[in-house]
Structures are given as C-alpha cells and as structure tokens.
A and B are shown apart, each in its own frame.
Chain A
Amino acid sequence: MTKLSRYFEPKFSWLALPFAAVFFIFFVIPLFLTIIVSFWDYNDYSIIPDLIFENYIYIFEGCFQFDADLCMTFKTYLSTLYFCLLTWVLTLLIGFSVAYFLAFYVKTIPVQIALFLICTIPFWTSNVIRMVSWIPLLGRHGLVNDTLIFLGIIDTPVEWFLYSEFSVILALVHLYTLFMIVPIFNSMMRIDKSIIEGAYDAGASEIQILTNIIIPLCKPGIVIGSIFVVTVVMGDFVTIGIMGGQQLASIGKIINTEMNYLQLPGAAANAVILLFITIIIIITMTKFIDIRKEL
C-alpha cells in the first residue's frame, strides 16, 4: 500500500474509474467468458455448458508423436512465430532508423511533423484496398515484373513477388513499421540533448553515442513498439491470408474458420492458447527492460 501511495494520491483514484470500468466491461468480462466457453461442448448449431478438455486435446491431437510429421497446430504456430520474428526484426531496424533520422537530423518541428504524417500514409486507405493494390505492383504482369523484364534483368516473371512469404513480410513491415517509429521517436525526443553534446565534446564518435547513449535510453520505446508489432502480427490473419494467397497458415485464420463454422468453444480454446503464448513473449520482452521504471 505504501508503495502504491508513492505513485498516486488514493484520494484521486476515482479518476481512474471510468477507464477501469471500460476495461473491465469490454475486456476482462469477455476474456473471462472466452476462457469459460473454451471448456464447453458444442454441436453443429449450439454451444453446451460443460467442463470438458476435449477442445484443448483436439488442438494438440497428434502433436506429441515425434516420429510423424509436425502436427497442424505446431506447424501453424511455427509459421506465425516465423512471420512475427522477421517482421519484428525488420520493423525494428527500419523503424529505429526512421525515428533516428526524424529526431536527430530534422531540425525544425514543422518538418518533423510533416515527415511524421508521411509515415502514416499506409493507414490512409482501407485494409482491403491496400491489399488489392499489391497485385498491379507485384503480380505476374505487375509493374515490378514488367520493369525488370523491360530492363532485361529477368526473362520470365518472378512468381514469388506475390502470394509468398516474401509478400506477406513485405505487407506486414509496410503496415506496422509505424508502430515502431512512434514509441521510439518519442523516447528519442525525451533524451536530454546536453548528454549527447557532452559525449560529443568528450570525443565520442556517432556510433559510440548511438550504442552507449541513444539505444540504452530508447529501450522503453523499443519494447513498447515491439509489443505492438508482436501482438498485432500474432493475431493477424487478414494480411497473411490475402498476401499469402490464403495458402499460408496463421493461427488467426484457424480461429476465424472455426468461428465461421460455429465451433465457438474450439475457437475459444485456440484463442486462449494464442493469448497465453503472446503473453509469454511479452513477459520475456519486458524481462529485458522494466518499462514501468523507465517511464
């Protein structure tokens, strides 16, 4: 209690009430219901209150026979994790570079804001339009292939530009880099310029300033951005579906299909497992850095 009261006046804790209520009604209760339903039974047209573990057993059926092929669930999670990892690395590298440029190389605030807005362009169009627009660019008869053929670099169109792991990663990075830029940029703007000037005066090179001052001080931003990207990609099925030509598995798609066929308890069980794995990833990330302390 004493520890808590150091952070806020108990007298004013009611200020947090509206948000706490929203959080409780629209997040905690539905989540709780999802967990409950994941133990229910179901048939073609209804869900039946029960306490069974079949939904979970069904998910992991055949997963522990190590002589056979990898089961669907493990394969799907591996594929989702693979997309997650690659997207995370790429958005981090690109997002950090962009934020670094915006924070330290752009001198005036209006220009910073203008450039920042340009970063949000991918969000100006709807998801569907954004997805459809890749076909004329990356397709077999798309702009990229046509240009490469015109320049004589290739003879036949490159197939893997579209409906491949490449195109999925490209779309994910294109979409979610902004989620990295924003928190990292925010962290960078809070770095006291005199620290950097001091290091510079003491003879540190730009690389040394980057690795010894900026990156350590940007850790909270990096972790927050990483949480955004990882959670979004773990649950994504629209982007992976459309850009992968629906031929690449994602755990979100499995849940989506199960919901369409009214296998709600099965979908709930899958969702609980997905949540569990995502939480583990986030806990691991926050182990590297205590966000609360840094904020």
Chain B
Amino acid sequence: MTNKISRRDTLKYGLGATLGATTALYAPAVLSSDAPVIRYLGTAVNMGDDIEKKLFEDTGIKVQYISVTTDEVTKRVLTQPNSFDIVDSEYFSLPKLVPSGNILGMDTSRIKEWDNVTSIFTKGVTPGGKKVGLQGTAPSKVMYLTGATSGKFADEATQYATLIPTVYNADTLGIRPDLIDGPVTSWADLMRPEFKGKAATLNIPSIGIMDAAMVVEAMGEYTYPDKGNMTKAEIDLTMKIFTEAKKAGHFRAFWSDFNESVNLMASGEVVIQSMWSPAITAVKAQGKPCVYQPLKEGYRAWAAGFALPKTTRGKQADVVYEFINWYLSGWVGAYLNRQGYYSAVLGTAKEYMSENEWGFWMEGKPATEDILSPSGAKLGSVGEVRDGGSYEDRMGGVACWNATMDENKYMVRKWNEMVAA
C-alpha cells in the first residue's frame, strides 16, 4: 500500500514538474480509472451512502451496491456467483450456501481485527461471559469451515471462517404503549384476547415460524428441544395454534416488507407485532410512541457477515479484504451501533462514539445528551434509556437465532396452508 502511494505521488509530482499545469487536469482521470470497484451484494440494511463516501475517502475503493431482499441474496449466490465480488449474507442462509461451494472460506489471518471479533460469534458467549441461546442457526455453530474450499462446517476453530461478521441484533415484539393497557412482558402476550384484530406477525415463513415458536413456548403449550430445527410434528403443532388464531381473526395482517410493518404500527391498525429494530425507529420518527419491548423469554437474534464468491480471486480479493478490514476498523461499527444494531468488533467502534452514545446504545445508561441517528434525527432525549438496556442484557438474553430447518420444505408448505386457511 505504501509503495503504491509513493509511486503514485512520484508520478504526480514528477509529471507535474515536467508538464506543469496540464497534470492537474489529467491526474483525477488517472486516479479514478485506477480506483478499484467492488460489487457488493446484500440487503439494503447496511448499504448507506455515508458508508460509500467514507470508504472512498479513507481507502479510494469504490463500492457498487446490489441491493436485494434476504431471500434474493441467497438465490443470487447460488445461481449467479460471478455477478458480485462480495456478499453480505445472513448466517441462517449458510446451510444452503456452504454445500453449494459457491462461497469461499474467509481467511481469518488476513483480518486484522479477527481476534477482537465479539465472542458471541466465535464462542457463543457475550464478552461479559453470559451464555447466548444457541437454538436455530447460531453463528457460533456455523462459524468455521474445515478448509477454504471444503464446503463443510468445522466443529473447532480453524483458519477459515464462513462469514466475517458485520452486523447483528436481537429482535423482539414492538408495541404501541399509548394504545395498550397494562404491561407486555411475554411473547405469549401477542395472543392476548384483547389484541384480537390488532396483532400482526410477519409473512416470511423461516422467521415467522421462529416467532410463532417463541409464542407457543411462552404460552406453555410446548417446550421445543430446538426451535430452529423442528420436527414435522412440532411444525404441525406450532402452525395449528397460529392457524386457529388466524381463522379467529386475531391478526390484523401479516407483513412481508419492512415498510408494511412501519405503516401498520404508525397508523394504529396494529398495536403489537413482530418487528425489526429500524422499523421501531421509523415509527418513532413519525412522532408515534413505539417500544421494542424486552420479553422474559428472551430475543430472537440474527446476524450477517461478509463472504467472497469463489470467482473473486487475486487482486480483486485483496481489494475486498482491504474493504472488510476497513469495515471492521471502527467508523462503520459506530455508524451501525447508532442505528440500534451491533457491530462485530466492539472496541474499534467505541473509539468513534461519544461517551454519551456508547453509554446509551451499549451500556444501557440514561442519555446525558440527545441521542441522534447517523442522519441527525433525534432518537432519544436526555434521561432516556434504550429499550432492553445494555448489550450484555440484550445479547445475553438471546433465546434463538434465525434458522434454516431440515424440514424447510414441509415448514413452507404448512405456512402456506395457514395463509390459505
């Protein structure tokens, strides 16, 4: 890297000396044709203009976003692995992606901050030592490969990781406290009779069934050995309870798009529903109170990370690794933390956040100043505490992870049957 810069500098100044003013005209053209471009496949979650700009400022790398839905990311990796240079995928897609051989194991020796990646990914415990629930496709279960191109998960830590983690969070139910009487403390509250016609859940079968399982377990109907990998009988049982509720008109709607969930909640059509963290922020931004309610049974968590398709090699792979190292070096981490997500390397992100921000988002402390989103919108006032509290409390309270089940096909069918019922 230093070599490259000095060579470029020599070229610039050398030419400048001989050709005078003309170089000033040519130099930008030379630089921009030089600028490495990486095609970045992922969901819109992590694709901000701010990140793109900052990346170019810091490294001279340009990024081309290919923004699609979660399911579409998986489909692209499997069907068109040469259409991108790096993919940002969720861990629960790995049981599909890895056996296909279309993604490479990530060489952890090339990741500067690898040793500082939060232990939730590498060991399945929080930095504070709390054990994280491992039901479902927990990242720590699918973190390593036996070799760069082996296509097999390793039980032990190896040099090759499936994904280099980027962002993750713990999901729970969102509520409208102004339209609800009394406290909501359990996943079972989603089915409370008073919420008839005012509850919602999502119409994405693989995630919806996990939320359904949290509800069924909280109702005391059944205790799953592994909510993330149900047997056919367990799927039947779960769907039966939800189908009956659906037929009785308990749900106002199902949603399949982030914006739908925001509209349902902001309009008051729904007062309690499965929700994602940025949707809560979006409802609040419309001036409606909305709480990401911590529940006693814990959270359903998800996590995403970077991988390279098998077609990204040589110099292009170097650029992508440089991008990943930059990504973990703190600025992006702070950016993600400020949106209510969590960054994979906590230490570097901390350096880019104020004491007030770190205290609010990560330590569960009351805000000492207004809390602002990366775009400058006010998310919290002085004295306010984050829903669910600290990182340790939230991530330590994870009960299960988004998953791909062995009985996936059966589950999708049963889900469709519920919709048709």
A-to-B contact residues, CB < 8 Å = 44-46, 58, 72, 75-76, 79, 128, 132, 135-136, 139-142, 159, 162-163, 241-242, 245-249, 253-254, 257-263, 266
Contacts and interface: CB of A to CB of B under 8 A. Distances in A.
Contacts of B420: 72, 75-76, 79, 249
A140 to B, nearest CB: 6
Contacts of A135: 263, 267, 269
Interface of B: 69, 71-72, 74-75, 78, 95-97, 99-100, 197, 200, 203, 205-206, 246, 251-256, 259-260, 263, 267-269, 404, 408-409, 412-413, 415-417, 419-421
Q: Is the interface of B mostly helix, strand, loop or mixed?
A: helix
20 contacts: A44-B404, A45-B97, A45-B99, A72-B413, A72-B416, A72-B420, A75-B420, A76-B420, A139-B269, A140-B268, A242-B260, A245-B252, A245-B253, A246-B254, A253-B416, A261-B71, A261-B409, A262-B74, A262-B96, A266-B409
B246 A247 contact: yes
Given A140-B269, A247-B253, A253 B263 contact: no
Contacts of B95: 44
A43 to B, nearest CB: 9
A266 B409 CA distance: 10
B263 A263 contact: no
A249 B203 CA distance: 12
B412 A261 contact: yes
Given A46-B100, A75-B420, A253-B419, A246 B408 contact: no
Contacts, number: 92
Contacts of B254: 245-247
Nearest to B415: A257
A124 to B, nearest CB: 20
A246 B269 contact: no
Nearest to A135: B267
B137 to A, nearest CB: 12
B96 A45 contact: yes
Most A-side CB within 10 Å, residue of B197, B206, B260: B260
A44 B408 CA distance: 8
B282 to A, nearest CB: 13
B205 A257 contact: yes
B267 A139 contact: yes
Contacts of B252: 163, 245
